[in-house]
Amino acid sequence: MHIACNKSHIKLNTLKNTMKYNHIYFLGLILLIISCNNKKDNSTPASNNKVSENIQKENESPNESNQTEKLKAQETSKENSIPEAILVIKKQFGDINSSIANYSKKENKDINISKDINPNNYAFEGASIHQLAIANLDRYYEGTDLKKAVVTFEGANEDLISEYYFWNNALFFVFKTKVNYLKPKWADDFKASDTKKTENRFYFKNDTLIRWLDPQKKQVDVTNEEAKKITQEILSDSQLYKNLK
């Protein structure tokens, strides 16, 4: 009886030891699997990013995607079309001036387009002339089509000559020359040759300023607030000169 109990005790211990080692084995196996998975996750970040990008593209609606591509294409087309438009403008500018002798000319002397005299219908560019004395307008027509308008503002110590060019009744180019005299014209020692000239060139397409060259012939940002203001003033003045009787 005692021997049988000892045998049973030995079998029980053996079973416990076997279960203990099995437990350790399975625990080690689980840790090994977790470690392998972590290495796999860390070794493929690019793949995960690619999946995320694909999911994002899948979630993006076709309309949004098409709209984005359309806007990019429009911006590229706009940038590419500006140099072509400038070439067209230069050709039209040359054609008009080479044919100026064949056009009919209409002169308007001492026109009332100053802000003081005509506050409801004045030229913006004339308002900047110090002590404006007189303004004259010359227009050149091919038949009934206005091709060129030249307005001259004369002040006490500065003049402004602005040339407006039209093609198919649309403004496409403006050339402004500002003349500053070192002395007022009424001064005893006034000399007409003592001047400083500055020039600005404005290129338009569909009533939009596409290029502005300053007196140094450097391009000015046509999207800034100053350019937007000048654009509105030029378009307003051009209509004033076109419609003047």
* Per-residue model confidence as pLDDT tens for the chain (245 residues): 444 444 444 444 544 455 555 555 555 556 555 555 555 455 444 445 554 555 455 555 566 666 666 655 555 555 667 999 999 999 999 999 999 999 999 999 999 998 888 888 899 999 989 899 999 999 999 999 999 999 999 999 999 999 999 999 999 999 999 999 999 999 999 998 999 999 999 999 999 999 999 999 999 999 999 999 999 999 999 999 999 98
Tell me what pLDDT residue 54 has.
54
Tell me what pLDDT residue 216 has.
97
| pTM exceeding 0.75 | no
Tell me what pLDDT residue 81 has.
78
Tell me what pLDDT residue 123 has.
96
Of 205, 210, 213, 119, the closest CA to residue 170 belongs to 205
**Backbone CA torsion sign across 22, 28, 30, 33:** negative
Edge-to-edge strands, sheet with 145-154: 104-108, 134-142, 145-154, 158-167, 170-181, 195-205, 208-213
Tell me what pLDDT residue 9 has.
47
Do 146 and 139 meet the contact criterion of CB atoms below 8 Å apart? Answer: yes
Tell me what pLDDT residue 58 has.
53
Of 234, 68, 27, the closest CA to residue 149 belongs to 234
